Amino acid sequence: MSTLRVLIVEDSEDDVMLVVRALKNAGFSLEYARVETTQAMEQALTAEPWDLIISDHVMPEFNSFQALEVLKRSGLDIPFILVSGSIGEETAVEAMKAGVHDFIMKDKLARLVPAVRRELKEVANRREKKAAYEALVAAKQVAEAANEAKDTFLANMSHEIRTPLSGIMGLMQLMQSTPLAPDQKRFVDMALTSADRLTTLLSDILDISSLESGLLEIRQDKVNLRDLGDSVMDLFSATAEKKNIALDSTYDPSIPGILFGDEVRVRQILFNLVGNALKFTEKGRVVVEMSPVGLNRENHLRLLISVSDTGIGMPEDQLDEMFKPFVQSDSTTTRKYQGAGLGLTIVKRLVELMNGTIAVESAPGEGTTFHVLLPFVIPGVVNGKSVRVSKSRRNIGDVNILYAEDDPINQVPIQLLLEKAGYRVALAEDGRRVLDMLVHEDYDCILMDVQMPIMDGIEATKAIRSSRALGKKKNIPIIALSAKAMPGDRERFLQAGMNDYLAKPVRFQDLDRIVRQYCGVGGDPA
């Protein structure tokens, strides 16, 4: 048995010996010290570790309540047993409420040993639980630090990849808009396809990380499902044409023109499903169908989106596997059909996050059909907010855009593509310059990079929104163009006062669409 170290708070040496004898007779190997003042007890607790405190109730210069206060101030967890020759029931109850673990009358000292054994066992349990809790807290802190480091790394990696990729895609799109020989056009198209693939892979990796961390949130935006579907189909039209595959879409005419849902995530779901269908289809067709399923009393519409293909198909026993990360039907398929195997995993998790369902029908050689059922809200007030969009129809040549971007490689292609489309564009290299130009000129919208020197895009936006000097100009639509594309970035930009957001690299069709939306431009998009 290990030595029991006991601090005895007692003014009578005879009573101390009674306690010591009782403990030794019970088989305890004992080391003890006696104190009878506040100062002596404080010094004893500081100087040495103790397993147990046994205290008399009343002494000439000290009492058990004062001793208990000294123990509490020390922060130590030591069993405190009160042993007294004369203590009333009321005082005993008060002592227990104050923190005494047990009390024993001196004429019933036989109860001391069982009380000591019990309290030593309980303090051991408390310390074990405390150690386990502290270990859990430490492990949680380590995990949180690791997650934070991972998120920081992913955010930095995303930004550092997206920034040069934005320049590459911008310049390729600019080159695509110039007269090209057939071979040159083919090379540019191939380069853009490769850049698109890299962008998709980067987004998929970040989305998987965000979904696993529970950081990805669903928003309620104004959505035109027909426009959304058409824009996704347009992105794949060149790929379908190259593979000689028919790419068709049908929309039930009863679908409302405008619904509320997460436009970004619906687009992502459809993009991944159509991309997946085209990837595994060598001949035939890919068809997208949208139709409403039902409307409930809360004005919630359920929409069925089906994506069918005439591709290679899959056996029934492999259908569940296709939603797992990094999985395609087998290793040979992985080599033949490019991709990381993340798209369908993301689709399934996004659908579930949106309180929807997904099902698949497939057979080898007969193609595959994915059915996605998603809830949408019929227009009205959503979370107390409405979306402000210009209703007037204007000519594109009347639209004056202020474009804030400090990187020339990103600046040049966007400016020239906008000007080729017919817009008028003025450039600013930082947020401070944006404010100066906005004071002296009238603009219809601002395309705002976020990370810029002198004054960044968020600071500039806040300054614009709070400016009295700008008058009505402070309400100008501000669209963020940023390589920051982590969960929470979009919300951060919108909270700063920006109206919308596009992640770099930007497809000009998307940029043209959003500028037309906020500036009220008529005609067909680029």
CATH number for 65: 3.40.50.2300
- The residue with tokens 């797992």 is 324
226 within 8 A of 251, measured Cβ to Cβ: yes
Q: How far are the Cα atoms of 125, 165, 169, 315 from residue 25, in angstroms, in the given order?
A: 25, 82, 87, 79
Residue 346's pLDDT is 85
410/443 same-domain check: yes
Is 85 within a domain? yes
Residue 137's pLDDT is 93
Residue 41's pLDDT is 93
pTM of the model: 0.59
- The residue with tokens 């009863």 is 254
- The residue with tokens 């009380």 is 115
Quick check: bond before 60 cis, omega within 30?
no
88 within 8 A of 41, measured Cβ to Cβ: no
* Helix boundaries (H) for 243-381: 263-279, 331-336, 343-353
189/280 same-domain check: no
258/364 same-domain check: yes
236/362 same-domain check: yes
- Residue 188 and residue 184: Cα distance in Å, rounded? 6
Which of 107, 122, 150 is the endpoint of a domain? 107
77/22 same-domain check: yes
45/76 same-domain check: yes
- Rounded to 5 degrees, what angle do the CA atoms 61, 102, 69 make? 40
* Helix boundaries (H) for 214-257: 225-242
Residue 384's pLDDT is 41
Total domains in the fold of the chain: 4
Is 386 within a domain? no
Residue 221's pLDDT is 78
372/276 same-domain check: yes
Is 477 within a domain? yes
Residue 91's pLDDT is 83
Is 84 within a domain? yes
491/414 same-domain check: yes
156/231 same-domain check: no
362/287 same-domain check: yes
pLDDT < 50 stretches in the chain: 329-335, 339-340, 381-390
- Residue 169 and residue 174: Cα distance in Å, rounded? 8
Is 86 within a domain? yes
Which of 157, 184, 213 is the endpoint of a domain? 213
225/373 same-domain check: yes
Residue 201's pLDDT is 77
Residue 498's pLDDT is 94
Which of 377, 407, 428 is the endpoint of a domain? 377
The boundaries of the domain holding residue 291 are: 221-377
Task: State which H helix or E strand residue 290 sits in.
Answer: strand 285-295
196/160 same-domain check: yes
